[in-house]
Each structure stands twice: as structure tokens, then as C-alpha cells.
Amino acid sequence: MKRPRCPHFALLASILLAADASLGLAIELNPPAQKIASGETTMVRIVASGLGGEIVSAYDLDLTYDPAILAAVSVSFGPLLGDPALFQVIESFDVSTDGVVDFAQLSLLSDTALLALQTPPAFTLAVVEFRAIGSGTSPLALRFDDFNDVKGLNGEQLVVTAKPGSVTVTPVIPEPSAALVFGLGVAVVASSIAWRRRPARYQGPTPGSAVATLKGSQKACGG
């Protein structure tokens, strides 16, 4: 006996497939975790993947970090939304707010041109440069709200899966300077020379020696 088919099954399946497709875009940080020493600089790449038949036509993103550990230096952009020298894309970034890097691109190319351009399975949207100013681990996270989103075909807002990252900064243990090492070496040599030149103190004849025996005989004879 055949089971009756649910009339809503096909509709439910199509909705689920559409939801899976809309969740295809992922934006992650590369490398997701790294370690640097205090005072060093590092690069964090913002990478988009899983577009399928979609495009990234525009985005406005915030990357948050711990300003006690890191300082944002600059942002550079990937080429797959257009060439700014040819007036194909508008780019902007702001690193003046502690703890937040704001960066955006708006492509002026057609959706067809972007589909032909964004063929790699993963590509870089932007690269953020940080300088380590403290020590510890700074979380890195993309913030999405009413002012931060990603647009696709026809300017529609995309659902994005964002993956966080981190940068761990280790303190630098200062090495002794060359002048200090040289000074310590001179002090050690001078101390050694002074000790060698120190005059020996006379402690008298050793008991049992010839001088002690002679003096004892003189005392016995009343000398």
C-alpha cells in the first residue's frame, strides 16, 4: 500500500533548499588565529567564499578588536569588485575609532560583469593591518547590524555566516644592551686584577717549621 504524499512536502523542500542556498556565503578571517610579538605588525584577510551563483556587489563591514592589545593601521581592498583607477568601485575605510575597523566597497559594475569576475571559490574582500601594542589575546569579529551588511544580485541583502578569529600578542623580554654587557665584563676583569695584586698578610711562622723551632729554642735559653 502506498503512503499518501504530503501536499506540502514539495513546498517545504523548496523552502529548505532556498534557505541553504541563501546561507551559502561565508566570510572568514584568514588566518583565523595567529601569534605575534609586541611591537610587530600583522595582516588579517577578510575572505568571502561559497557564493555559488551569487555575487558580492557591495558591503559595509565592521571588524572589532581589543584596542588595549592591537591598533588598526590601514586597510587595503581586493580586486574582485572592480578597479578604483577605472572608476569601477567606490572604496572607503576608517580606523580612527579604537576597537573598530570600518571598511566598505560599492561596485559600479553590472551584475553580469561581477558574475564573470568573481569566479574563484574564495576571494579576498579586504586586508586589515594591525600593530601589536599590548599583550594578551584580542578577539576579532565581524559585526552585522542595520548599518553593516553584504549585498548580492539586484542589490539584495545576503545572509552571511561569519567566522571569528583572534590575534595573540606575546610580550618581548628585552635583552641586555651591548654597553651593559661590556661594562659588566670590564668590572669582572678589573675585580680579578685587583684581587691578584692584593698584598698577602703575614700570619707568622707555621707551627713545626724551622723558624718556629729556632724561636722556641731562643726563648728557652733566655735569649
Residue 23 pLDDT grade (very low, low, confident, very high; cuts 50, 70, 90): low
Please name the helix (run of DSSP H) or strand (run of DSSP E) that holds residue 30, with its range, or none: strand 26-30
The per-residue pLDDT for range 41-52, each reduced to its tens digit, is 999 999 999 999
What cell numbers appear for 57 in the block?
A: 556587489
What cell numbers appear for 206 in the block?
A: 707555621
Q: Round to whole Å and give the CA distance between 202 and 188.
A: 27
- Which pLDDT value is given to residue 63? 98
| Contact criterion met (CB below 8 Å) for 46 and 128 | yes
What cell numbers appear for 15 in the block?
A: 523552502
Checking if the pLDDT of 88 tops 90, the result is: yes
What percentage of the chain reaches a pLDDT higher than 90?
64
The per-residue pLDDT for range 103-115, each reduced to its tens digit, is 999 999 999 999 9
- In the chain the domains, ranked by start, together with CATH numbers, are 22-170 (2.60.40.680)
Checking if the pLDDT of 123 tops 80, the result is: yes
- Which pLDDT value is given to residue 159? 94
Q: Is 88 exposed, middle or buried (0-12, 13-18, 19+ CB in 10 A)?
A: middle
- Which pLDDT value is given to residue 146? 86
3 state DSSP class of 144: coil
The per-residue pLDDT for range 142-157, each reduced to its tens digit, is 998 888 999 999 999 9
Residue 162 pLDDT grade (very low, low, confident, very high; cuts 50, 70, 90): very high
Q: Round to whole Å and give the CA distance between 35 and 69.
A: 12
Q: Round to whole Å and give the CA distance between 164 and 169.
A: 17
Amino acid identity of 14? S
At a CB cut-off of 8 Å and minimum separation 6, what does 124 contact? 45, 46, 47, 48, 78, 80
Residue 21 pLDDT grade (very low, low, confident, very high; cuts 50, 70, 90): very low
Amino acid identity of 191? S
Question: Is the full-model pTM beyond 0.75?
Answer: no
* pLDDT mean over 7-14: 42
Q: What is the DSSP string of 88-137?
A: -EEEEEE--STTEEEEEEEE-S-HHHHHHH--SSEEEEEEEEEEE-S-EE
| Contact criterion met (CB below 8 Å) for 71 and 101 | no
Upper half-sphere CA count for residue 68 (Cβ side, 13 Å): 4
Which residues sit opposite 139 in a β-bridge?
Answer: 166
